[in-house]
């Protein structure tokens, strides 16, 4: 008797779901088939992180402000690295960048099966020493 009662409840559930199943067959899909169908980015969208390394001063403000600590900066060698798998794409590093060299693209990162770091190498900007501009180098007379 108990087994028959469970079978009847199962049949009732199928009949309750049937209208929903039929409605889903004839309506538009609720999701997109990404990456084949890509949604257009909206205002204020935060996509892939991009660093214009030629403008970077390697001040480390982005690395200090990053809440997920995904950015590392080496002032001496001019290395700038970001781990996109750790990044939460909050945009705090972009807002904090003093050189305004960090940007967020309007596209997603491409799908990859393996972990890829964003590693950029630039030339660290050297500040001129104080007094170097004030004291010109004396010319040596040619003999």
Predicted confidence (pLDDT) per residue in 85-111, tens digit: 999 999 999 999 999 999 999 888 887
**Which one, of 62, 111, 96, lies nearest residue 82 by Cα?**
62
Structural domain for 78, as ranges = 49-121
Q: Is residue 131 part of a domain?
A: no
Beta bridge partners of 71: 82
CA–CA separation, 94 and 87 (whole Å): 12
Copy the structure tokens of residue 105. Answer: 């693209």
16 is a domain residue: no
Whether residue 139 lies inside any domain: the answer is no
| Residue 27 covered by a domain | no
Domain assignment present for 3? no
Q: Is 106:41 a contact under the CB 8 Å cutoff?
A: yes
Q: What is the pTM of this model?
A: 0.63
Structural domain count of the chain:
1
Q: Is residue 66 part of a domain?
A: yes
Q: Quick check: 53 and 80 in contact, CB under 8 A? A: yes
Residue 21 lies in a domain: no
More confident position, 131 or 47 = 47
118 falls in which pLDDT band (50, 70, 90)? very high
């Amino acid at each position: 008797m108990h087994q028959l009662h469970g079978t009847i409840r199962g049949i009732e559930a199928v009949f309750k779901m049937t209208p929903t199943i039929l409605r889903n067959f004839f309506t538009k899909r609720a999701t997109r088939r990404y990456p084949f169908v890509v949604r257009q980015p909206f205002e204020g969208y935060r996509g892939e992180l991009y660093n214009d390394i030629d403008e970077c001063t390697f001040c480390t403000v982005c690395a200090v402000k990053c809440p997920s600590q995904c950015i590392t900066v080496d002032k001496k060698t001019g290395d700038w690295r970001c781990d996109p798998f750790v990044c939460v794409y909050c945009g705090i590093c972009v807002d904090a960048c003093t050189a305004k060299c960090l940007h967020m693209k309007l596209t997603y990162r491409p799908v990859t099966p393996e972990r890829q770091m964003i590693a950029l190498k630039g030339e660290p900007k050297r500040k001129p020493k104080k007094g170097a501009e004030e004291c010109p180098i004396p010319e040596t007379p040619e003999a």
